[in-house]
Amino acid sequence: MPQEMLNKSSTPTARTRKKTRPWYRTAVQSFFFILVALISLNQILKEAGLAIPFLSEASLHAICPFGGVVSIYKFATVGTFVQKIHESSFILMFIAFMLAVLFGPVICGWVCPFGTFQEWVGKLGKKIFKKKYNQLIPNNFDKYLRFIRYIILLLVIYKTAATAKLMFQDVDPYYALFNFWSDEVSVTALIVLGVTILLSLFVERPWCKYACPYGAVLGIFNLFRVFKIRRNSSTCINCKACDRACPMNISVSTGAAVLNHQCISCMKCTSENTCPVEGTVELSIREGKNV
């Protein structure tokens, strides 16, 4: 065995331990998924006079921070919001931006119910394809597909600014998932939802990776977020466990800090979740080389 590996494996800071997956991320994801589902269902109950009191005025548009993003142009020019968008969307947008400045796209990795839904569907894909799951698209092709979401972001912002209407709803699989019974949901959105569900059996979080315009916005914050996911090269045993754990296929093991625009701050790669060596992959403010 090379001397360098012997030194790393024998040092006390490189001791490995059995992983016990933290439960709190799943709890947070489940809470927001159930909350959004109740808000959507409550619109039907409201029509029947059975609305849940503390949810009676809430709507999916009111709790979507991306609504604030697409309303920026109209609000800046005429002082009003895009059709169906509420002031609460602006407030949530700023909260999401502040969180992203500090911790990156935690909204994507912890809060977004559609991202959670894709993960749940992906569990079935993992059982079918096992180790091949999320590795089926060649990297040379995949790395270009990931920039499609930025093209979609520009198109959505332009069309919304030009029409002052919430154009994205017509293709939004998130809205379709929680309103598939409603006549407000377009056939196109249902088709996009169906394709996303199908792709989730092969690729983890396909909508997040390739198409989500809000994920594109938050992904930019990975370039300058305060707390970054960092790898301590002095204790790393180069087992690649962090790479395999990453749902966004980021090579965490190749550098000291993850600044990749696809990172969703899910923390799956960290020593707390997957890395077998304590204190090697952590959320930290330390400076280091970028990944």
Per-residue pLDDT of the chain in tens (291 residues, 90 and over written 9)? 444 443 444 444 455 555 666 789 999 999 999 999 988 888 777 776 776 776 666 666 666 766 656 555 455 555 555 555 566 777 788 899 999 999 999 999 999 999 999 999 999 999 999 999 999 999 899 999 999 999 999 988 887 777 666 677 789 999 999 998 888 899 999 999 999 999 999 999 999 999 999 999 999 999 999 999 999 999 999 999 999 999 999 999 998 899 999 999 999 999 999 999 999 999 998 764 555
Q: What is the pLDDT of residue 183?
A: 83
For residue 97, give the H/E element and its range: helix 87-103
Is residue 7 assigned to a domain?
no
Beta-carbon count within 10 A of 285 CB: 10
Is residue 130 assigned to a domain?
yes
Q: What is the pLDDT of residue 92?
A: 81
Is residue 8 assigned to a domain?
no
Distance of CA 7 to the CA centre of its chain: 38
**In a shared domain, residues 136 and 246:** no
Contacts of 221 (CB under 8 A, 6+ apart): 97, 100, 101, 104, 105
Specify the number of domains making up the chain: 2
**In a shared domain, residues 167 and 208:** yes
Q: Which of 177, 194, 221 is the last residue in one of the domains?
A: 221
**In a shared domain, residues 34 and 159:** yes
Cα torsion angle, 190, 106, 206, 270, sign? negative
**In a shared domain, residues 157 and 117:** yes
**In a shared domain, residues 55 and 179:** yes
Q: Which of 191, 221, 251 is the last residue in one of the domains?
A: 221
Kindly tell me the burial class for residue 53, based on how many C-beta atoms sit within 10 Å of its own C-beta (0-12, 13-18, 19 or more).
exposed
Q: What is the pLDDT of residue 2?
A: 47
Q: Which of 221, 243, 259 is the last residue in one of the domains?
A: 221
- SS3 (DSSP) at 222: helix
- CA nearest neighbour of 46 among 34, 61, 58, 35: 58
Q: What is the pLDDT of residue 290?
A: 54
Is residue 251 assigned to a domain?
yes
**In a shared domain, residues 242 and 138:** no
Q: What is the pLDDT of residue 202?
A: 96
**In a shared domain, residues 126 and 198:** yes
Where in the sequence is the domain holding 232, given as residue range(s)? 228-291
CA 235/CA 243 separation, integer angstroms: 16
Is residue 16 assigned to a domain?
no
Contact 267, 110 (CB under 8 A): no
**In a shared domain, residues 169 and 192:** yes
Measured at the CA of 252, the angle between CA 246 and CA 254, to 5 degrees, comes to 150
Contact 116, 37 (CB under 8 A): no
Is residue 93 assigned to a domain?
yes
Q: Rounded to whole angstroms, what are the CA distances from 174 to 106, 118, 237?
A: 17, 10, 40
CA 15/CA 248 separation, integer angstroms: 27
CA 218/CA 101 separation, integer angstroms: 9
Is residue 81 assigned to a domain?
yes
**In a shared domain, residues 143 and 101:** yes
Is residue 136 assigned to a domain?
yes
**In a shared domain, residues 117 and 235:** no
Beta bridge partners of 282: 230
**In a shared domain, residues 268 and 144:** no
- SS3 (DSSP) at 231: strand
- SS3 (DSSP) at 59: coil
**In a shared domain, residues 107 and 145:** yes
